[in-house]
Structure 1
Amino acid sequence: MENVKEIKLADLRAEAKALSTAGRHPLTAMFGRDETAEHRSYALYVLFEIPEEKRLAVLKALVPADGDLRYDSLTPVLPAAAWYEREIQDMFGLVPVGHPDPRPLVLHESFPQGYHPLRKQVSATASPRAKVGESSEIKMSVAHGEGIYEVPVGPIHAGIIEPGHFRFSQAGESMLQLDAKLFFTHRGLEKVMEGKTPHEALPIVERICGACSIANTWSFCQAVEKIAKVTVPKRAQLIRTLLMEIERITNHVGDCGNIPAGVGFAPAISLGGRTKEMLMRLQERLAGNRFLRGVIVPGGVSLDITAELRQDIRTTLAAVAENVEALDKMFAEQENFQNRIRTTGIVRHQTAVDLALVGVGARASSFAHDSRQDFSYGAYPDLDFAVVTQKSGDVAARLAVRIEELRQSFFMVSQLLEHLDADHTELSVAVPAAAGEDFGISESARGSNLHFVALDAEGRIDRIFVRSASYPNWPALPIAVQGDIIPDFPLINKSFELCYACLDR
């Protein structure tokens, strides 16, 4: 992997602060790795995006396994590091000294003290449980004062959604503070994939999240292809990019139907849901399943988009585009809906920068973070498109970004179909087994999706780290709700459309 700077652990905080340049180079990810077999140390990796050079810069510091496992927390100078450091503490036992909130993040009370599952000595089949009285309760963060009361919601919800516990501190109807406890159904997928070949791991990668199958597989395959030093054929890049935009359209249309559900706007809910179903059926015709699984493989793609399928895409998306314009008009004409979404759930620009938000959550707060522009991959360098931003950072802005991004995606799909009409190159190349480490990144509907992959001498996975778009955006939700009324929480929550499964990887 290029652009890795190995530094002393004592210098990590200062080096990270300098590289960030006050948020101009956003923190992309931070993770740990067990390298005790190589040099009896754990490693901390800190990745920053350098958009003006279309690359990542990586800091790496070693923590001797038989020494002091503490280091100076980056969170006081880089707020975006908060969750990463808590997860590293859970998974590897590396302690961030000076972290403002050192509570466990991933491992809840049911796990015993001293259990760190991503250490190599821990088996992937281990199933530990804390003994009664061994683990203390993880306290929720709440506000205190006269007239303030708590409202607990979850982790089991009324809808068919994954578990998450939300603890509201309220004065009247106003939300003063929100603390979220997530990771209830963490699957340990990164551990499970250790020792597998990329092809053996691919079905797992595709199922990290039902909404982001293309984004996850593309990021993963990018990393594997970089390690093997292979060039993916042009037609495969066109098909990957096409499917990525169709996945984005499907998710954005679904969100345009889900956000109105936060206020019971039935006609919009119905039109959004019906239109998403049109897209899910298109995806099934393209890939043989409704989630576009099995198409992207290391080295290219497994199937072609024939002339008949290209015409199917054109016809379906023309109808979808009409419905999107009808939704946009419906939203604009409903004054009550506009009153609910304007100035609700605000994330200010500086907050977006400080937390290194991605995707719609970032761009709605005028933080133009888009990996399609910030990195050269796929067919995006050959496409004409604009990165959409809004300034107000509220629910209305997040909805407006999605509507305009849908128009941009329709335009990109039309360009991609024209390129496919004229291109006749092969669909894939062989990817030899190779040792090394590298990353892949793609822009999912929710934002940038990053995979770090390290392969051993046999070409098997030694470490994989997955950072979905939802991961950096979840910490913005408790900030966005402050000062709004609790009936607006479903609306604000849906406007981010954050994924539980992406956390529970």
Structure 2
Amino acid sequence: MTVEKLRRIVEELPPELYSKVRAAKVRGNDLRLLTGIDDLASLAKHIHGAHQASLVTMHATDDRAAEDCFKLYVVLSPRGIDAYVTIIAPLEPRSQRFVSLTPQINEADWYEREVQDMFGLEAVGHPDPRPLVLYDDWPQGEHPLRKDFPLDRRPPRVRSAYHFTKVEGEGVYEIPVGPVHAGVIEPGHFRFSVAGEPIINLEVRLGYVHKGIEKISESTPYWRGTHLAERISGDNSVAHSTAYCQTVEALASAEVPERAEYIRTVMLELERIYNLIGDISGIALDTAFSVGAANGYLLREKALNLNECLTGSRLLRSVNVIGGVRKDLSANDREKTLSALVRLKLEFEDLVDLMITSTSLLDRVETTGRLSMEMAVRLNVVGPVARASGVDRDVRRDHPYAAYDRLNFLVPRGTAGDVNARTRLKMDEVRESFSLIDQALDGMPAGPIRTVVDNIPAGEIAMSLVESPRGELVHWILAGKEKPYRHKIRDASFCNWLAMEEAVLGNIVPDFPLINKSFNLSYSGNDL
């Protein structure tokens, strides 16, 4: 059925676009279309609009050694089917220019700026071609993801300055915040333009914790890649390592044991629980609701202790391996988990009651930081932030993986799109996670927890999406010999930072920390 739907996407192309498709093939649930670089924007725009498709990722590869060109890949997810459309467009030999997709597909904005920085390709017609990843002192002509840029290269630094958007008018002034923040918050710069009290513009400048993960991955053997994936964003270790493992397993056409899929599901939901309880507690803290914050953080600590009891790691590190999981769950582990979850559920409902009956808290969160559904769709927002604005989207249901297709769960949605809606939605998602773990533990089949994965063919492509606590994340690999030739990673936060720039407009600066916490985006996951 899926294959037929994908074929119809090609067959229903307008004649002027159909003639531009040089080749089309279906691998699994991925329709791959080869087209010319000059036709990429129009073909992507049509599929994006005609099939209400979301932009999953956009990136480049350096294939000059084998084919004397760079290539662009645009991956789209048509609404309503568990499938993808990958458009592949080689640039002309020795060319470094392509027509920008951003004027037609708004969410391509940051992807194209990233391609410009990391590969030196020019997105012609991009409305904001400023650097995104590379910093002010980075020299011209140095592009880290090109194959002729060695991993250990340290280019000489130059003096330069980043030009923030200038908002002018009577009574308008700027407030720079960061990049260094109080406490343990990661570095990021926020440039506010304010007229009196309301924020009229916010520009986010990130990249301070760029680690070169994608470049490092190109020299990391597959079996070591899970270790690297777990360190993309530390509090999403299971989500990133699951996506990485599933991508490599797909490359090798390997079938993971069913028991391992159930164990992965349990670990993914345990990760979601401690993250979302932390988010909810942070909202209480930032509204000066100290009692709620104290109770919430205590509950999060109990969830972390359960993680350590089961796996030896509070952050659930070293759970996944390619082909399955590292450690089985014994009958004793099952009973400990179920017993701990009973107590966590009761205490969590006490926390919810405490917060939703606090008039002082509700006064701060209602109508604050509102993001409309229209803007959420336009910016391709993902995860709880999107669902709180009414977007009906969850990878666990729409593109099932692990054991999710064998479990029953609801996808909560809000409508208001404010801090209150995001907080309430996360409360509902914690409840669903409790239910999913109960079902997974009750229905977990006996059997092995790992299979051998080898014979990964060079030149093959695979991708995996996972619904992390922050939303949809993506790992895409073009296989090399014993290690990735190109490894593209897209954390959920990469999609949502621009939405926060919109959500703060019209609010006052003192409410920014509260809005920021309700999004709870990862600087490390964004910066890679």
Q: TM-score range by the shorter chain?
A: over 0.9
Q: Report the CA distance between 1:128 and its aligned residue.
A: 1.4
Q: Does 1:56 align with 2:84?
A: yes
* Distance in 2, Cα, partners of 1:6 & 1:265: 55
For structure 2, the 5+ residue unaligned runs are: 1-26
Q: Which residue of 2 aligns with 1:426?
A: 448
User: Where do residues 225-240 of structure 1 align in structure 2 (5 Å cutoff)?
Assistant: 225-240=249-264
Whole-Å separation in 2 of the counterparts to 1:188 and 1:493: 25
Matched residue SS, 1:178 = strand
Note if contact 1:256-1:272 (Cα within 8 Å) is conserved in structure 2: yes
Give the Cα separation in 1 of the matches to 2:196 and 2:343.
Answer: 45
One-letter amino acid of the counterpart of residue 399, structure 1: T
Aligned residues of 1:261 and 1:491 also touching (Cα < 8 A): no
Q: Does 1:487 align with 2:514?
A: no
Structure 1 residue 316, shift from structure 2 partner:
1.5
SS in 1 for 2:191: strand
Out of 360, 363, 366, the position equivalent to 2:384 is: 360
| 16-25 vs 213-222, which moves further | 16-25
Q: How far has the Cα of 1:121 moved from its partner?
A: 0.2
8 Å CA contact 2:151–2:216 kept in 1: the answer is yes
**Counterpart check, 1:466 vs 2:489:** yes
* CA deviations over 1:179-234 (Å, ceiling 9, x no partner): 01101121101101113221122211111111111110110111101110111010
Percent identical among aligned pairs is: 39
Q: What is the SS of the residue equivalent to 2:315?
A: coil
| CA offsets 1:320-350 (integer angstroms, 9 cap, x no match) | 2122212221222111211211111111111
Within the candidate set 21, 25, 28, 2:49 is matched to: 21
Query: Out of 276, 293, 297, which is 1:252 matched to?
Result: 276
Partner of 2:525: 502
Tell me, in whole angstroms, the C-alpha distance in 1 between the residues paired with 2:291 and 2:195.
Answer: 33
Alignment of structure 1 residues 46-445 onto 2, 5 Å: 46-67=74-95, 69-132=96-159, 136-420=160-444, 423-435=445-457, 436-445=460-469
For 2:19, the equivalent position in structure 1 comes to none
User: Aligned partner of 1:443: which letter?
Assistant: E
Whole-angstrom CA distance in 2 between matches of 1:323 and 1:168: 39
Matched residue of 2:423: which SS? helix
Question: In the TM superposition, what is the alpha-carbon distance from 1:23 to its structure 2 partner?
Answer: 7.7
Paired AA for residue 394 in structure 1: D
Q: Give 1:110 deviation, angstroms.
A: 1.7
Any idea what SS the aligned residue of 2:235 has? coil
Query: How far off its partner does 1:51 sit?
Result: 4.1
Residue 250 of structure 1 and its aligned partner are, at CA, apart by 0.9
> Contact 1:23/1:354 (CA < 8 Å) preserved in 2?
no
Matched position secondary structure for 1:28: strand
Q: Tell me which stretches of 4 or more aligned residues in structure 1 moved more than 4 Å.
A: none
TM-score normalised by L of structure 2: 0.92
| SS at structure 1 position matched to 2:140 | coil
Larger mean CA deviation between 227-236 and 308-317 belongs to: 308-317
Work out which structure has the larger RCO, using CA pairs closer than 8 Å and 6 or more positions apart in sequence. 1
Cα RMSD after superposing both structures: 1.2
Measure how far apart 1:447 and its partner are: 0.4
Letter in 1 for 2:456: A
Q: What SS class does the counterpart of residue 60 from structure 1 fall into?
A: strand
Separation in 2, partners of 1:261, 1:58: 43
Q: How far off is 1:459 after superposition? A: 2.7
**1:478 alignment counterpart:** 501
Kindly provide the amino acid, as one letter, of the partner of residue 477 in structure 1. M
Asked if the contact 1:295/1:303 (under 8 Å) is kept, the reply is yes
Q: CA deviation at 1:22?
A: 6.5
Corresponding letter in the other structure for 1:113:
Q
1:424 counterpart SS class: coil
Shift in Å, 1:159: 1.8
How far apart are 1:444 and its partner, in Å?
A: 0.4
Name the structure 1 match of 2:58.
30
CA gap of 1:12–1:430, structure 2 versus 1, over 3 A, is same
Q: Which of the numbers 31, 36, 56 marks the counterpart of 1:3?
A: 31
Please state whether the residue corresponding to 2:144 is helix, strand or coil: coil
TM superposition shift of 1:65: 4.8
Structure 1 residue 130: deviation in Å?
2.3
